[in-house]
Amino acid sequence: MNNKIKGFKWHLPLAFKDSVGQCKFEQGDVIYPKKLEGKNWGENIEEFDFLIQVKSPTRSQSTTNSNLDVFNSNWNSNIIFEKIYPKNPDLNKKIETTQGAFYTFLWKNDESFFNNQQNLKPIITSISTKRIKYDFIKNKIPTDWTGFAIIVDYVNDISLSKRQLVENVLTQNFNVRLEKFEIENSVSLDSENSNFSPTLGLELFLIQSKDITQIQKHLKDVLFKGVKNRFNVNTHGLLIENEIL
């Protein structure tokens, strides 16, 4: 990801992963519209029309970003930030809005969300694997290979850990290639529920093997923690064997 969180028009380094995952930006956060060329704060900032510094809420101990309720509960909470104009400090001004409107502004670079914050609903941060497009994925798999497609949230620690476990076990046991796709192309979504998180993506592990049994066994080793219930690989991703009928 080149040390940048995917999907946002403003430049958000990976250091903001928890802030994005929790929808909670805090006092002291400084955000630039694009990557800062200088190595230290204050260098070359005159190249920007304006940058942003969060003034409130005060910084607190982070909460694990695996809890979607944290994101939703923070969505409508207040935030105060300052627009800082390096070339003309007289234009500096503070803006009070919601975390959700601020998040959406950083995402789409559209200040109109500050005026329409009451109409903003929390975005979709979790998508069922049942919505992965079967035909889309199968068409990406070479003949006599197998594909395993998973949805990844690139700011969610649990999602990232799961994705890494899958990559590790597959590359250790098979010849594997990886392809990445945007959610809007690879997942079926209802028209009224299309406002999904920009941090979501789909990854397709292309496995040079037709041995579904062995592939599932290795995936079970890293994905299944239960005892009583049977392992269902499709609760974690979409596993497809592409063969000539």
For residue 124, tell me if it sits in a domain. no
Q: What whole-number distance in Å separates Cα of residue 240 and Cα of residue 125?
A: 25
Range of the domain at 212: 129-242
- Total number of domains in the chain: 2
Same-domain check for residues 143 and 215: yes
Same domain, yes or no, for 85 and 140? Answer: no
Coil, strand or helix at 49: coil
Q: Is residue 186 pLDDT above 50, yes or no?
A: yes
What is the CATH classification number for the domain harbouring 157? Answer: 3.30.70.260
Same domain, 107 and 49: yes
Q: Give yes or no: residues 95 and 181 share one domain.
A: no
In angstroms, rounded to a whole number, what is the distance separating the alpha carbons of residues 10 and 111?
12
d(CA 134, CA 28): 45
pLDDT score recorded for residue 145: 95
Whether residue 149 is found in the same domain as residue 100: no
pLDDT for 63: 53
Look at residue 9 and tell me if it is in a domain: no
- In this prediction the pTM is 0.87
pLDDT at 245 over 50: no
Residues 94 and 185 in one domain: no
Gap between the Cα atoms of 93 and 211, Å rounded: 62
pLDDT digits (tens, 9 = 90+) for 42-88: 556 666 789 999 999 998 765 554 455 799 999 999 999 999 998 89
- What pLDDT, in 10s, does the model give residues 137-151? 999 999 999 999 999
**Residue 138 resides in a domain:** yes
pLDDT of residue 193: 57
